[in-house]
Structure 1
Amino acid sequence: MLPDHGAFVPGPRLRVAPTGSGMLDGLTFAVKDNMDVAGWITGAGNPDWRAAQSPAVRSAPTVRALLGDGAELVGRTVSDELAFSLEGRNAFDGTPINPACPGGLSGGSSSGSAVAVAAHLADIALGTDTGGSVRVPASFCGIFGFRPSHGRVSLDGVVPLASRYDTVGWFSRTAEVLWRAGSVLLGESGSDEAPPVRLTLASDAFGMMDITHRTALLQAARALGPHDVCFLFNNEQPLWLECYRVLQGAEIWRAHGDWINRTRPRFAPDIAARFADASSISDEEVRLMAKVRSRIGAHVRSLVPVGTILVLPTAPGPALSRTAGAAEIGTFYAQALALTAAAGHAGLPQLSIPAARTASGCPLGLSMIGWPGSDAAMLQIAASWEAKTVA
C-alpha cells in the first residue's frame, strides 16, 4: 500500500505554513486539485488541463482563510477528472485507497481529500461538491463531510463544474474539528449551544437501500431522538435524476465545451462519455427542467421549516468495489444522484456523519439536510450528536 494511500497528487508535495493564528492552530489541512494555491498549478485531475495552466497568482479565499486561522497546508489531493465523477477513480493521477473499506472505492470526486482525512494524513480537507462529491466520499470513508448552502462559501479560485450546484465543502474525522473549520469558512460559529431541532426521516430514501444496510442506518437515525416520517421523492425519483442530469450537464458544457472542442483533451472513457452527453443537451431540455428544479426545490424546502432536519442516507450503500462492473456502477449513479439532488436542487446545507458499518466493517453515512441558512447550526448539532451516532 502506498504510504499516503494515493491521496496526494503525484510529484512534489505542496506545503504552506500558516499565515496567522486562531481556532485552527496546530491542525493540518489538504486541498483538492481544483482549488488555487499561490505559486502552484491547479491540475483539476487531468493532464491536459494541467499542462495548459500557469501557477496561481493568488490562493482561493477558502485556502487563505484556513491558513490565516492557524492551519498548515500539507498537500494537494487527487480529484476525479474535472470533478465529473462520484466514484473516486483517476486514470492519470491514480485511484486513492479507501482506508476504511479495503477493496472499496473512496468515492469522488473529492477522493483524495476524503482519503487524506480518513488515513490521518490531514485533520481537515477541502473538497468541492456539485452532485455529492464531498458527501459520498465522506460516507464511503467513514468521516464527517459538509456541503454548505449554495453560495454560502466563496467559489473564487475554484475550477467550475456546474455553477448553480457547485459548492466548496470540507471533511474531518470529528464533528468538533468540522465545526472549527466551518466557523472559519462560514465566518460564524453559531450560538453557544446547539438549537433544539425536530427530525423528519425520508422513508422512501431509506427504502432505496439493501434491507441490512437500511436497518443499520435507521437504528442510528432513531437514536437521535423522536422523529416524524415523510416521503421525499413522491415517486418521482427518475425525474429528479433527469432534472439534475440536464441542468448540471448544460452548465458543465457551458463551462468547458469550448476548451474541449479546441484542445481535444485526453479523458478516461467514462469521463469522455459524460462530457459527450453534456454536449448533446438542448436549450429546450434546460428550459423544461429549470421549471422542474424550481418545483423540486420548493418541495424540499417545505420539508425543512426552521428547526427541522431531514434525515436520509448519504449514499445508497457502502463503498463501491474497486472492481465494480458497468451495471453496478450505473445503478449506483441512478440512486446516489437522486439522493444528493435533494440538497442540490434546493440549495440547502447537508451534513454526512459516519453512523453505521456493514458486517464487513465498511462505513455507512447518515445525512441531515437543514433549513435555509442553518449552516452554522448544523455543524453545532453534529457536535452535540457525535457521541450518539458515530460508528
Structure 2
Amino acid sequence: MASQSTNLWVLLGLGLAGIFLMTRKLKKRSIKQDFGAFIHKLLLLPPPQPAPPKAPHPLTSLNFAVSDLFDIDGHVTTFGHPEWARTHEAASQTSPVVSALVEGGATCIGTTVVDELAYGISGENKQYGTPTNPAVPARVPGGSSSGAAVAVASNLVDFALGIDTIGGVRLPAGFCGILGFRPSYGAVSHIGIIPVSKSLETVGWFARDPNILRRVGHILLQAPFVVQRSPRQIIIADDCFQQLNVPLDRSSQVVIQSTEKLFGRQVLKHINLEEFLCNKLPSLKKLSSQQQNGELKAPSLKSLAKIMQFLQRHEFRLTHEEWMSIVKPELHPAVSADLQEKFEVSDVDVENYRSVRNEMRDAVNSLLKDEGILVIPTVANPPPKLGGKEIISEDYRSNALSLLSIASISGCCQVAIPFGFYDKCPVSVSLIARQGGDRFLLDTLQTMYSTIQEQVEIAAETKLSRNVITQEQSAEIAKEKGNQAYKDKQWQKAIGFYTEAIKLSGNNATYYNNRAQAFLELGSYLQAEADCTNAISIDKKNVKAYFRRGRAREMLGYYKDAIDDFKYALVLEPTNKMAASAAERLRKLFR
C-alpha cells in the first residue's frame, strides 16, 4: 500500500513538473513571437472608407503601435513602470496624435515597452522585460522607445510612435537598423502624453519604408503642401564621422556618392561641426570658463550633451519628483543613477542653459537655411551587449549624447537612416534640416533613400572583394590619399583619410603624426596635441611628434610644456633648426 502511495506521488510530481516546463516553454515562445515589444495588445479601428470617387484614407491598410506613455481611452498608461500604473487612473480620452492616425486609416494594435519612466537610453526594462533587438539579439535595442522600434524592426507593425527627448527615437532606430524621425520641436501636439522633459521632447516615429515615414508625417505635421525641392547644400560633418568606429566608405562616403549621383558634386560641403558650433555659442564659452567643478570644461559637443542631460533631469524632477518621493519606484541602474542621486541646479544655471539652446537653434538654422541638410552619424558606437555596464559608463553616454544633442538642443528635425551592417552591427547615418523644415527633410529622404541603399550594397560588395588586401595595405593607401589631400590644402579631407588609416592600423605613429599636422593647419590644437601624444606613445623617438606637440601646446598657452617638447626634439635631433628657434623664442618670452 505504501509503495502504491509513493508511486502516485512520483507520478503526480512528474506531471506537475511537465506542466511547469510546458508553461515556461509556451511563455518563452510567446515572448519570442512578439520580441517582448508589447505591454498591452488592443485594437483601435479606423472609420469606414469613404465611398468612391473619394480617395481612401491616407494610411489605409497600415497598422501601428504606440509607446506606453500615450493616453488610450479606457487604458492605464504604465510609463514603463508598474508602480506608475498602480497609482494612476485609466485615461478618459485618447491622445490626439493617436486619434489622428486612426482617423487617417491606420489600425492601432497595442502599446509598447519604454525604458522605466521613459528616461534611459538602453531600452532595458527590469519591470516588463527588455525587448529583443531583431538586428542583433545579444545587444540592447536602445531607448527610451525600445518596444516601438523593435515592433517595427521585427515587422510586427508598419510604423510606431515614440518620444524623443535626448534620443529616444533616433537611438533605437540606429541600434535596430530602421528609420527613425524626430520632428522639429513643437511641430506635433503633446496633449495626452506623459511629459519627460518639456523643453526637449518631441513625438517621433519609426518605419522601415521611407514612404510610410513620410505619409505618417503628413498626418501628424499638418503642414501645408509645398512643391518638393532638392537640397542646395549637403553638409558633411567630417569631425563627427572621424569619431565613428566604422570606415568612411561605409558611412559618409555613401552619402557623398549618393549626393554626387543625384544632385552633383557642387552641392557638397565639408565642415568641422564642433568648431563651427562652439564659435557660434558665446553662452557656452562663458559657461565653460565659469565652471569650477569641471563638468563642462572646454566648449565642445560633449559640453552640449551635458547641458542636455541637465535640462532633462531638471525638468523631469520638476514634473515627477513628488510622485517619486512618495512611491520610491525600483529603477534600472542606468535610470536611478540620474534620478535618485542628489542633484541641485540653480535658476541662473537653467537660464544659462536655455541661452545656449537659443543660440544653438540660431546657429544650426543659419548653417542650413531653408534648403540645407547636415549629415552626421546617428550614434557613435555600436549597441552594447545586454546586461553589460558599457551603456551606463560615462564615456559611452557622453559619446552617444554628443551627437544626439545637436537636434535635441537646437530643436531641428532629424531622420536616422539604416546603412546596413558593419562588424555584425547596424550602421546608421542621420540627416538634419533646420527647425520647421520637416516636410523638406522627409521629401529629401524619399528622394535619396533608394540611391543610398544602392551605394550601401556597393560598399559592402567592394569590401568583400577587397578582403585579399591586408588592413595594413589599406591603411597605407588611405595615408597616401591623405598626403595628397594635404598637398592640395584640403585639410579636412586629409584628416578624414588619416582617420581611416588609424582605424585600419592604429599602431602606426606616422598616421597620428600626419593627422596632427592637418589639425594644426585648421587650428584644432587640442586634437593635434592628442594625436602627437598618441604618436609618441607608439614611437618615443618621433622628432616630428614632439615638435608638432610643442607647436600645439604653444598655441594653447601651455608654454612650459611646449618648451620641454622643443628641447626633447633637439635632444633627438640636435640639428633641428625649427625646434631650436621655437625653444629659444619661448625661453626669451618666459625667463
TM range (shorter): over 0.9
Q: Distance in 1 between matches of 2:342 and 2:444?
A: 38
1:297 corresponds to = 361
Residue of 281, 297, 321 corresponding to 1:257: 321
Partner deviation per Cα, 1:124-150 (whole Å, 9 max, x = no partner)? 100000001100111111111100000
Conserved in 1, the CA contact under 8 Å of 2:123 and 2:144?
A: yes
Q: Distance between the aligned counterparts of 1:388 and 1:355, measured in 2?
A: 11
Which residue is equivalent to 2:253? 219
Residues 6 and 112, structure 1, Cα contact 8 Å, conserved in 2: yes
C-alpha contact 2:71 2:77 (8 A) present in aligned 1 = yes
The answer to whether the Cα contact below 8 Å between 1:311 and 1:368 also exists between their aligned partners in 2 is yes
| 1:245 and 2:309 correspond | yes
| Cα distance change on mapping 1:326 and 1:386 into 2, 3 Å | closer
Pick from 427, 430, 433 the counterpart of residue 370 of structure 1: 433
Question: Is 1:213–1:317's contact at 8 Å kept on the other side of the alignment?
Answer: no
The answer to whether the aligner puts 1:230 opposite 2:271 as a matched pair is yes
- Describe how 1:1-391 pairs up with structure 2 within 5 A: 2-9=32-39, 12-19=40-47, 21=49, 22-188=57-223, 190-210=225-245, 212-225=246-259, 226=265, 227-234=268-275, 236-277=300-341, 279-326=343-390, 329-360=393-424, 362-390=425-453
Contact 1:114 1:141 in 2 (8 A): yes
- Asked if the contact 1:127–1:170 (Cα under 8 Å) also holds between the matched residues in 2, the reply is yes
Q: How far, CA to CA, are the matches of 1:146 and 1:327 in structure 2?
A: 23
Segment of structure 1 superposing worse, 303-312 or 228-237: 228-237
Give the Cα separation in 2 of the matches to 1:109 and 1:201.
Answer: 28
8 Å CA contact 2:244–2:381 kept in 1: the answer is: yes
Alpha carbons of structure 1 residues 61 and 376: separation in structure 2 relative to 1, 3 Å: same
Q: Specify whether residues 114 and 20 from structure 1 end up closer, same or farther in structure 2 by C-alpha distance, changes over 3 A only.
A: farther
Deviation at 1:192, TM superposition (A): 5.0
**Residue-pair matches, total:** 387
How far apart, CA to CA, are the structure 2 residues paired with 1:19 and 1:327? 43
Is the 8 Å Cα contact of residues 249 and 278 (structure 1) preserved in structure 2?
no
User: Shift of residue 285 of structure 1?
Assistant: 2.5
Root-mean-square deviation (Å): 1.8
C-alpha distance in 2, partners of 1:278/1:33? 28
Higher deviation after alignment, 19-28 or 36-45: 19-28
Deviations 1:22-66 (A, max 9, x none): 111000000000111111111100111111111111111110011
Counterpart of 1:62, as a letter, is: V
Note closer, same or farther for the CA distance 1:327–1:130 as it changes in structure 2 (3 Å cut).
Answer: closer
Residues 220-278 of structure 1 show CA distances to partners (whole Å, capped at 9, x for unaligned) of 22123131011222261232122112222111111111111222222223312211347
Q: Which amino acid aligns with 1:135?
A: R
Question: Cα distance 1:86–1:20, how it changes in 2: closer, same or farther (>3 A)?
Answer: farther
SS of the residue 1:14 aligns to: strand
**Residues 276-333 of structure 1: per-residue CA shift (max 9 Å, x gap):** 3474333333233222223333222222111100000011122222143247743221
Q: Which amino acid aligns with 2:433?
A: G
Greater mean alpha carbon deviation, residues 368-377 or residues 28-37: 368-377
Q: Mark the CA change 1:333 to 1:114 in structure 2 (over 3 Å): closer, same or farther.
A: same
Paired residue secondary structure (2:417): strand
Contact 1:354 1:389 in 2 (8 A): no
| Contact 1:249–1:277 (CA under 8 A) maintained in structure 2 | no
Q: Quick check: which has more Rg, 1 or 2?
A: 2
The C-alpha deviation readout for 1:74-129, integer Å capped at 9, x for no partner, is 11100001111111100001101111123121110000000000101000100000
For 1:371 and 1:152, the matched residues in 2 are separated by 12
User: Which residue identity lines up with residue 8 of structure 1 in the other structure?
Assistant: F
Deviates more, 1:120-129 or 1:241-250: 241-250
Aligned partner of residue 351 in structure 1, secondary structure: strand
SS at 2:429's partner residue? Answer: strand
Equivalent residue letter for 1:367: S
Q: Give the C-alpha shift of residue 383 in structure 1.
A: 1.1
Aligned residue for 2:252, secondary structure, equals helix
The C-alpha deviation readout for 1:208-230, integer Å capped at 9, x for no partner, is 211x3444111222123131011
Q: Deviations over 1:174-210 (max 9, x none)?
A: 1001011111111247435343341001112112211
- How many angstroms apart in 2 are the aligned matches of 1:230 and 1:261? 46
Q: Percent identity?
A: 34
CA contact (8 A) 2:391 2:397 kept: no
Cα separation, 2, equivalents of 1:376 and 1:113? 23
Report the CA distance shift for 1:94/1:214 in structure 2 as closer, same or farther (over 3 A). farther
CA 1:213–1:39 in 2, change beyond 3 Å: closer, same or farther? farther
**Separation of aligned partners in 1, 2:382 and 2:315:** 30
Q: Which has the higher helix share?
A: 2
- Confirm or deny: 8 A CA contact 1:317 1:364 kept in the other structure: no
For the structure 1 residues 384 and 260, does the alpha-carbon distance in structure 2 shift closer, same or farther, using more than 3 Å as the test? same
Tell me whether 16-25 or 250-259 shows the greater mean CA deviation: 16-25
- 3-state SS of the aligned residue for 1:386? helix
**Which residue identity is paired with 2:432?**
I
Once residues 144 and 8 of structure 1 are traced to their aligned partners in structure 2, the CA distance between those partners, rounded to angstroms, is 19
Q: Which moved more, 1:70-79 or 1:319-328?
A: 319-328
Measure the CA separation in 1 of the matches of 2:157 and 2:419.
Answer: 21
Distance 2:401 2:156 in 1: 29
